[in-house]
A and B are shown apart, each in its own frame.
Chain A
Amino acid sequence: MTFKYQSQAVAMPYFIAAIGLFVAQILFGLIIGLQYVWGDFLFPEIPFNVARMVHTNALIVWLLMGFMGAAYYLVPEESETELHMPWLATLMFWIFLVAAALTVAGYLLVPYATLAEITGNDLLPTMGREFLEQPTITKLGIVVVALAFLFNIGMTILKGRKTVVSLVLLMGLVGLAVFFLFSFFNPTNLVHDKFWWWWTVHLWVEGVWELILGAILAFVLIKVTGVDREIIEKWLYLIIAMTLITGIIGTGHHYYWIGTPEYWQWWGSVFSALEPIPFFMMTVFAFNMVNKRRRNHPNKAATLWALGTAVMAFLGAGVWGFLHTLAPVNYYTHGSQITAAHGHMAFYGAYVMINLAIISYAVPILRGREANSEKAQVVEMWAFWLMTVSIVFITLFLTGAGILQVYLQRFSDNPLSFMVVQDKIELFYWLRFVAGVGFLIGLVVYIWSFFIPGEKTAAEMPAMEAQGSERGAVEAAAG
């Protein structure tokens, strides 16, 4: 078996580059994790802020690469037609990759202030704000790539079959491009700056990105379960409805302490307290669909990633988000390691895992087989558990660090200074680093799984059928 439309193959380089940047993200994550306990590690060559920029920017770019790869793979199949301009997709891939590589090289090779100077930040200052550190020229490049990408995807959808999956995906991608434009607005008034900065950051990750996540998850579930599209699309609409109904006003949970009016403490608390609902629905949805499956797709690993996405997104974004979203709690936890704990599990659960789910489903097909060999899938599932358990421990250790930090620095009768507290909670940072090494091992195992040869042979097929007990286990887990 192979893929249905030749132009789907343009997705492959996007997926490969995404995984390459994923590796860079984790390596720099380990560097900054170590700098938390070994303060002068790589100082002054790679100061913390530089390594952190690489860690977060590599994450953002590889997730975007993955989303684009996912769109190039699934839109032709959903639209039942070839991609409008495959060559444009390939060209944009190289532009995006080169721009990302040059930006990271700029971060690492010259001081940030020099990078700002040589890229003309004076003309349109947009740099030096969290997650939007890219030089203005890189941001313009992202806009060009995004527009070409939207044109290509939009034209393909227009000329072909219009499904809810591709429509929701397109709405998410358009939203992604539109809300990125707020990254160019950087007034001197810090409250204005912060207010609109969240229109990119929050309305991405707790808004339009969830539409992309929902659409990709729905696509993978349609493929691996064979459940009727009508049912899956109904769920998809309901989930993204709850996402935006809660998440748009939920932006208010960032408007408690940055100079904005105090009524945001009510709006933000009430609506963001409801934000776990769509993630809970997503979990119920994924397990239900797998339970009601009409076929046993041989790609068990992709099914595992899809279920994992729903569960971990609920835990990371839903539960750990709720933990500190109510204004009276957030008064103490705002900008502490609690925030970091939530950020790590939410990004992994929602956006890393959905990318790995579509990669797990699509890459074997792009390599000319319906699923990888049994052995390759077992290794991939080991990687799933190693990375997932590691991120759970990273989150738990950061939560421990955060609780102590909040108590010692903000809650006790004799508040201690930031650095004194950091010394006291060092043990948790060491443990977090160890868990981070575990994550890297999981990532190495994951990459190894791609190099295990062999598609499923005819001889192996009966062995798959014999795995009825596995189906029973999934059903038991789903209740």
Chain B
Amino acid sequence: MAQAFTKEMSRNIFYGGTAFFFLLFLALTFDTHLALPERDNRAALDPATERGQLIAQGKQLWEENDCIGCHTLLGEGAYFAPELGNVYTRYGSSKEAIMGFIKGRPKDGIPGRRSMPQFNLSDEELAAIAEFLQYVSEIDTANWPPNIQG
């Protein structure tokens, strides 16, 4: 086998295989982007609407406070705090409940237990984050997570 199978053959498998499967990946990527409008809840993002602007602001606040450093969002992130992709439904489809929770975090934490920091966000900022989380909960995630607990 050592004689029959040359370095040139394995090199060709590398270049040929990589090129073929990368092109296939590009094709699947293209097809995915054609399918996404039906699934990704983009109607909510329209920047001409107040809701769209709030969601964009909410996403930026989500990022600039590094929420992903403790939580998962659609299962991605850190595993220290609850999944938030479905927190809107878990909180009874109430944005007020989400805002109240974030607002009510004790500044010095809870003795001996994990606690979300107090981020001192304004009411407008809280509303933006809640709007963002509602938008995320309306993305078609192929029925994930398995139940309301996330």
Do residues B28 and A44 form an inter-chain contact, with CB atoms below 8 A? no
Q: Does A140 contact B (CB under 8 A)?
A: no
Q: Does A466 contact B (CB under 8 A)?
A: no
Select one of B2, B18, B80 contacting A245, CB under 8 A: B18
Distance in Å from the Cβ of A51 to the closest Cβ of chain B? 9
Given that A127-B64, A189-B45 are known contacts, is A43 also in contact with B109, CB under 8 Å in the complex?
A: yes
Do residues B40 and A190 form an inter-chain contact, with CB atoms below 8 A? yes
Q: Which parts of A238-264 form the interface with B (CB within 8 Å)?
A: 238, 240-241, 244-245, 248-249, 251-252, 254-262, 264
Given that A113-B119, A189-B40, A416-B149 are known contacts, is A331 also in contact with B144, CB under 8 Å in the complex?
A: yes
**Residues of chain B at interface, number, CB under 8 A:** 75
Give Cα A255 to B74, complex, Å: 11
Q: Does B115 contact A (CB under 8 A)?
A: yes
Give Cα A429 to B53, complex, Å: 41
A28-62 interface code vs B (CB 8 A; 1 in, 0 out): 00001001101110011001111011000000000
Do residues A418 and B83 form an inter-chain contact, with CB atoms below 8 A? yes
Q: Does A334 contact B (CB under 8 A)?
A: yes
Given that A112-B64, A245-B17, A418-B82 are known contacts, is A256 also in contact with B108, CB under 8 Å in the complex?
A: no
A334 contact set on B, CB distance < 8 A: 75, 144-145
Q: Which parts of B56-94 form the interface with A (CB within 8 Å)?
A: 56, 59-60, 62-70, 72-83
Do residues B45 and A194 form an inter-chain contact, with CB atoms below 8 A? no
Select one of B5, B25, B115, B150 contacting A248, CB under 8 A: B25
A108-138 interface code vs B (CB 8 A; 1 in, 0 out): 0000110011000100010111100100000
Give Cα A32 to B114, complex, Å: 11
Select one of B7, B32, B139 contacting A230, CB under 8 A: B7
B11 contact set on A, CB distance < 8 A: 164, 237
Do residues B45 and A267 form an inter-chain contact, with CB atoms below 8 A? no
Distance in Å from the Cβ of B125 to the closest Cβ of chain A? 10
Distance in Å from the Cβ of A392 to the closest Cβ of chain B? 20
Give Cα A112 to B141, complex, Å: 29
B10 contact set on A, CB distance < 8 A: 234-235, 237-238, 241
Q: Chain A residue with minimal CB distance to B60?
A: A125
B107 contact set on A, CB distance < 8 A: 44
Give Cα A422 to B78, complex, Å: 14
Given that A234-B10, A248-B18 are known contacts, is A52 also in contact with B80, CB under 8 Å in the complex?
A: yes
B76 contact set on A, CB distance < 8 A: 130, 194, 254, 258, 335
Q: Chain A residue with minimal CB distance to B63?
A: A128
A275 contact set on B, CB distance < 8 A: none
B32-56 interface code vs A (CB 8 A; 1 in, 0 out): 1001100111100100000000011
Do residues B63 and A125 form an inter-chain contact, with CB atoms below 8 A? yes
B74 contact set on A, CB distance < 8 A: 190, 194, 257-259, 335
Distance in Å from the Cβ of A70 to the closest Cβ of chain B? 21
Distance in Å from the Cβ of A436 to the closest Cβ of chain B? 15
Given that A128-B62, A265-B142, A418-B150 are known contacts, is A234 also in contact with B24, CB under 8 Å in the complex?
A: no
A419 contact set on B, CB distance < 8 A: 82, 114
Given that A116-B64, A127-B63, A191-B139 are known contacts, is A259 also in contact with B18, CB under 8 Å in the complex?
A: no
Do residues A39 and B36 form an inter-chain contact, with CB atoms below 8 A? no
Do residues A190 and B65 form an inter-chain contact, with CB atoms below 8 A? no
Distance in Å from the Cβ of A307 to the closest Cβ of chain B? 22
Distance in Å from the Cβ of A8 to the closest Cβ of chain B? 27
Q: Determine which residue in A53, A238, A261, A339 has the highest number of CB atoms from chain B within 10 A of its CB, and name it.
A: A261
Q: Does B13 contact A (CB under 8 A)?
A: yes
Given that A189-B45, A190-B136, A248-B21 are known contacts, is A260 also in contact with B39, CB under 8 Å in the complex?
A: yes
Give Cα A356 to B73, complex, Å: 34
Distance in Å from the Cβ of B49 to the closest Cβ of chain A? 13
User: Interface size class for chain A?
Assistant: 35 or more
Give Cα A283 to B62, complex, Å: 42
Q: Does A415 contact B (CB under 8 A)?
A: yes
Q: Does A79 contact B (CB under 8 A)?
A: no
Select one of A130, A249, A257 contacting B25, CB under 8 A: A249
Select one of A238, A248, A332 contacting B13, CB under 8 A: A238
Select one of A50, A191, A237 contacting B7, CB under 8 A: A237
Given that A39-B110, A249-B28, A255-B32 are known contacts, is A410 also in contact with B14, CB under 8 Å in the complex?
A: no
Q: Does A225 contact B (CB under 8 A)?
A: no
Do residues A238 and B14 form an inter-chain contact, with CB atoms below 8 A? yes
A240 contact set on B, CB distance < 8 A: 14
Give Cα A258 to B2, complex, Å: 45
Given that A44-B108, A259-B141 are known contacts, is A340 also in contact with B79, CB under 8 Å in the complex?
A: yes
Distance in Å from the Cβ of B147 to the closest Cβ of chain A? 5
Q: Does B117 contact A (CB under 8 A)?
A: yes
Q: Does A370 contact B (CB under 8 A)?
A: no
Q: Does B6 contact A (CB under 8 A)?
A: yes
Distance in Å from the Cβ of A231 to the closest Cβ of chain B? 8
**With contacts A40-B114, A113-B65, A259-B141 known, what are 5 further pairs, Cβ within 8 A?**
A39-B110, A40-B110, A127-B64, A188-B59, A257-B141
| 4 A-B pairs with the lowest CB-CB distances in the bound complex, closest first | A49-B69, A128-B63, A335-B75, A39-B114
* A→B interface (CB under 8 Å): 32, 35-36, 38-40, 43-44, 47-50, 52-53, 112-113, 116-117, 121, 125, 127-130, 133, 164, 186, 188-192, 194-195, 230-231, 233-235, 237-238, 240-241, 244-245, 248-249, 251-252, 254-262, 264-265, 267, 331-332, 334-337, 339-340, 409-411, 415-419, 422
22 of the cross-chain contacts (CB-CB < 8 Å) are A39-B110, A40-B109, A48-B80, A49-B68, A50-B69, A53-B66, A121-B63, A188-B56, A190-B74, A192-B36, A237-B7, A241-B13, A244-B21, A244-B22, A248-B25, A257-B145, A259-B74, A260-B36, A331-B144, A334-B145, A335-B76, A415-B147
